[in-house]
Structures are given as C-alpha cells and as structure tokens.
Amino acid sequence: MKKLLKVLKYLVLGLVGLIVVGMVFFFAYYAITSSGNMGKLGPEAAVLTEQGHRFRDLNKNGQLDPYEDTRRPVAERVEDVLGQMTIEEKAGMMFITMIAMSDDGSLLERPTPSNPFSFMMPINSEMVVNLRMNHFNILQGSDPVAMATWHNALQKMAERTRLGIPVTIASDPRHAFSNNPGAALFAGAFSKWPEPIGLAATGDTALVQHFGDIARQEYLAVGIRLALHPMADLATEPRWARVNGTFGEDADLSARMLRAYIRGFQGDTLSAESVATMTKHFSGGGPQKDGLDAHFEYGKEQVYPGRYFSYHERPFVEGAFPAHTAQIMPYYGIPMGQTSEDVAFAFNKEIITGKLRNEHGFDGVVCTDWSLLTDKKMLWFTFLPAAGWGVEDLPPILRVKKALEAGVDQFGGEMEPGLIVELVESGQLDESRIDVSVRRLLRDKFILGLFDDPYVDAGAAGQIVGRAAFQQAGAQAQRQSIVLLKNDSTAQGARLPLKGRPRLYVENVDTTVAAQYGEVVADLAAADLAILRLNAPYQPREGGGMLESFFHQGDLDFKGEEKARILTILKTVPTIVDIYLDRPAVIPEIAAESAGLLANFGASDEALLDVIFGRFNPSATLPFEMPSSMEAVEEQLEDVPYDSRDPLFTFGFGLRYDEASFLSRILVGESPTPRSRLSLHGGAQVAGRRVAGGFVP
C-alpha cells in the first residue's frame, strides 16, 4: 500500500508539474509573440498643421500626403494611398474575418478560458501587424464601454502600422431575440427589437427606418461601421432556417422594407455619420432545395422549379440598389441551371460581373459569404468545412483566383492574404486586378471618415447603447409586430382582449410578469385560462456540428408526445397560444383547439400580455403564409411565393380587436400602450377585424 501511495504521489506531482510547465509555456509564448508583433509597429501618427487645419500624419513622414488631407476629393486620396501600398498590404485589406476582444476592453493578446472563441482566432496584433488586415467582424461583446474601449485600442494599433490605414469593424445583426453565431447575435445591452421578419409584419416603413437610425447610433457608439445586413432574400421556401432574417416572401414588401432599413443605417448617401450596409445575399438566397441551408453541403443547391429567378432579384433591384447600399454579399448556394456552370454565386462570373456589375450597375464592394476557401479547424478537429460549393476540387489559391475573376472584392471569414500575394508574384493574376478591389474598399473607409478620425467616445457609449428611449421604441415595435390569428367567440363576445384579473396557468411566461395581469396558478385545473408560449418546431439533424445546431431546419409541425401534451392543455381549459415564428409553422390542430392564437417574431412577455389584455390593439399581418399540412409544404415550389395548397392562414392575414371592444378597455381605466393604432380596416368579423389587403401603410 505504501508503495502504491508513493507511485500515486509521484504521478500527481508529475501531473502538476506538467500543468505548471504548460501554463508557463502558454503565457510565455503569447507574451513573446505579442511583444514581437508590437515591436514591428511605428509611432503614433503626429498631428500636422497647415493653414489652420489639423491633419494626421498617418505614414509618419513628416509631410502632408494627399491621402491625409481631408480637403481633397475622396478619389484623389484613394489613389494616393493605393499607390503607396505594397502587395502584402493590399492583400490584407481583401480579407475580413471574426476577431475576439477581452472582456475588459483591452486588446486580446492571448486566449482566455472565459472566451472559448478566442482559442479559434489569432491574437489581435497578429491579424493587424503580420496579416495586415483591417476589416473585422466582432461576434462577441455586449458591454458597450468595453466594446468602445477595445475598438479604440485596435484603431490605435492600426494607426501605428506603416500607412496608418484604419480598421473597419463589422457586425451581424445584434438587436433581436435570436442568437445564431452563423447569422445573428442576441441583443444584450443593445435595444431589443423584433426580428426583421417581425418588422415586415408591421408593414410600417417609417418604423423600419426609425429602427435603422437607432441601430446606427448604437453601432457608431461602439465603433461598428459596417452592418453585415440586411437580408434581401425572399422566404418562398418555408422550411429554410433563415426566414426570420428576411422581410418575408413578397418581393414588393421586401423592397419597401429594404429601402427604409438601408436609409436608416446609411442616410440618403453614405457619409461619416453612416453605418455602411452589406445587403445579402445576391441574387436571392431563399429558394433552397427542400429548405436545407447552403452553409452545409447537403443544402448547396438553390432551385427554381417555378422559373422565378428574376422575382428573387427584385428586392435588390427595387429596394437595395435605389437606397444605395454600400456593399453586397452573395450566398453560398449554387443557382442550379441558371448559368453556364453550376458553381456557387461567389465564383459565378455570370452572376457577379454579368448581372450585378453590368446589368444592375453596382460598383460597390462585393464580399463573399464566410469560409469559402479553407476548412476551419481547432487543433486537429475540423468544425466547419469550407463551403466552396461547385469548386470543391479546386485548392484554396485557385478558389481565390476564380472568385476574383468572377468579380468579388473581399473574402469573408478568411485570413489568407498570402494566397493573393502568391497569385500576383507568380504571374497568375495582374496586380491591377487587385487594385480594382482595394480601390473600392478604400473608398468606403474614406467616405465613412475612418481615415480622418476613427475613434469613439468610450465614456458616452454606455449612455447611448440601450438608452431608455431606444429600448422603449424597440418594445413598442415588439407590440406592433404581434399578429392576432384567431379570436374565439363566447357568450359575452370575443374571447380577446381578456378582462379583469383571471386565474392564469402559464407556460414559458415569467410568472412575475404574468402576475401583473392576473392571478397565476400552478394547477391547470384551477385556472380560468391558460397562456402558452411556443416556439415553431424544427428537426435537429443527427450528427450535426456546432454551427448546424443553431439552424432550425426540417419539418414545420409538432409531433408525438409534445403535440399531444399541447392539445391536452387546450382541451382542458380555454387557452391562448402564442407561437414564435422564426419560420412558418404547421399547426392546424393547435389553431382549431385554441381559444385565441397569436404569432410573434421576437416579443417580450410584457409585449404579448399587453396585446392579450387589450392594452395594445394588434395591427400586424403575416409576412408569409402558414401552410395547413406538411404535404402542402412538400408540394410547394421553392422559388414561388404564397403557393401553398389551402393555407391555414394566408399571406397578409391578421385580426384586430373591434373598435368598441378596444375602447371599452380604455373606459374602464386600462390605458393602452402609447401609439396604439385605433384605425380599423376591412369588414367587421365576430371576433375582430382582418386587415384588408394585408399591409397597412
């Protein structure tokens, strides 16, 4: 026994020793690497004064170069700095990828356990100094002061590079309820709004532009200057996992929403007060075969059985382009049978140069979607294969060449500038082609004012992001986006809005919030009414990877025990059902058995209960149709809008409380939420009123 204990003792000591040595090596490696990178930087830019004007000496030569002179035209400034750039600096500019930040707002110069994402990416200085990159997508970060502080530190490091070219920080949507690292981020400290599909449900372009303006102010406060949105895709395939990021399945509605959205972020023209928008995904990423998403190989085909290819272009042609979107992103998918070769949009010259550039006259930046060139790995594990659909047999360097020849300017989710350098130095690609793309990227940086002053007021960020007025506007929009789909009749009239303080059984509702509206009971049998909040169903794929788990795909109906459980509640007590529709749901039995049915696209418990109890008169309408069966879904054509056989609810359907019922809630002292709409449209129904024609201006 003593011998065994002695062996265990040495094993434990050895293990502890290995851990200590490993930690020493870990900290020493990153300290030395960071120090080496920082040692390559020059001084901060001095301030030059000429004729009473102050300028930043970005290349540290003691002279006022044209690109440093804010008085000169943008085109002249672009050509000046372009002429001073090396091929390595040009290549670095043509990549944009994710970047990590420290929780306290300092530069992230070594991975931290509190941020697992940091182990997947190089440290900040490696990306700026050695890879010469200056476009980044910030995934994390909810504390606005920390985000702004980090942004300023990153800009200061960029200022110390040879030419002082500033950084452009980009972000996926970060104002809604969803959290999908492949598509959108949870709002956190930012004001919280409905998903884009919910904004479409309001039909209110003024509201959408107001959202864009608020989001612009919050982005600017933390240094985000490029929005990797909006989505101009059409939700003609209800099974697609990204429906919630669209403005629905109608091209006219989508175009109107896009114009308002982009103007909110950019203004009428791009300027130093703008956040540039990268509208996606040209020429429409909605018609996915069987609704499977093109992030993954099994979903790489986009199909057009209804020959509606041009219909999917319309939101761009009638919405994004008239609003002067700064940038465009094509999708991962292959537009099957639409061009002379079946390759993904980003590699397809007939799409990017033929349609986007030549036919539609777009001369802005075109950036690929993420990770088309290389597999993403952690240690020896590939967690995201490259999505180079149609060119899988090409090595990364030839994928770069093909995409550039197709007409793209920048590669998303990649950090391989050496491939461009090799193409030029080996004579496979002329440097003049690289200049075309870098010129576009520089132009946006100059117009956004980043060369003149890229820094933000970190102290003010906490006062701007999520300020009370912004939160109130988002909360109001949540109420405006809720759709009333069913309102049963009772002997006393319509079931909704609810009156008094009924005994409530609730599921997926904060009981503290519900208690402000009624008496919450834990026993269903003791309840006068039940309120259920449901999420649209989906089918997790077997063996799906980390990213795949965030995408809700597959069938749209509840099945088995869960469906039976829900129906049992509905048959036991009158039940108001609210369902979150990140994509349409097939719920005919639930609709039939419910006493009231509502749909939301991202709404708090307070917003929902305000509608249920008549403090807000529902005014939204469905931005897509809701099919009546999975058989009807499977019969639909992926590219054709509202073509479901006998839909449960049609596109544009929505009820309102009748005027007398709604006003009675006010007369008894239950004030409606401010700005509730009282105007009514359409003919009277027993339980409410349908909004005629779908969307109210």
Q: Which two tokens stand for residue 130?
A: 């050695």
Contact 383, 546 (CB under 8 A): yes
Which residues, listed in sequence order, are joined to residue 547 by a DSSP beta bridge? Answer: none
Q: Of 368, 214, 347, which is closest to residue 280 (Cα–Cα)?
A: 368
Q: Which two tokens stand for residue 114?
A: 């509190």
Q: Which two tokens stand for residue 501?
A: 């303080």
Say whether 605 is catalytic: no
Contact 612, 531 (CB under 8 A): yes
Q: Which phi-psi region, left, alpha or beta, contains residue 328 (left: φ > 0; alpha: ψ -120 to 50)?
A: beta
Gyration radius of the chain over CA positions = 27
Opening angle at CA 172, ends 194 and 263, nearest 5: 70
Q: Which two tokens stand for residue 640?
A: 């054709």
Residues 6+ apart with CB under 8 A from 314: 251, 252, 254, 255
Q: Which two tokens stand for residue 163?
A: 């030419």
Opening angle at CA 615, ends 611 and 616, nearest 5: 55
What 8-state DSSP symbol labels residue 578? E
CA distance 556 to 644: 13
Which residues, listed in sequence order, are joined to residue 531 by a DSSP beta bridge? Answer: 506, 576
Handedness of CA 365, 370, 375, 380 (dihedral sign): positive
Q: At how many degrees (to 10) do helices 205-222 and 251-266 cross? A: 40
Handedness of CA 599, 602, 607, 608 (dihedral sign): positive
Percent helix / strand / coil, the chain, rounded to 5: 40, 15, 45
Q: Of 183, 310, 203, 325, which is closest to residue 257 (Cα–Cα)?
A: 203
Q: Which of 65, 369, 610, 658 is catalytic?
A: 369
Residues 6+ apart with CB under 8 A from 582: 178, 195, 197, 243, 244, 535, 536, 552, 601
Residues marked as catalytic? 369
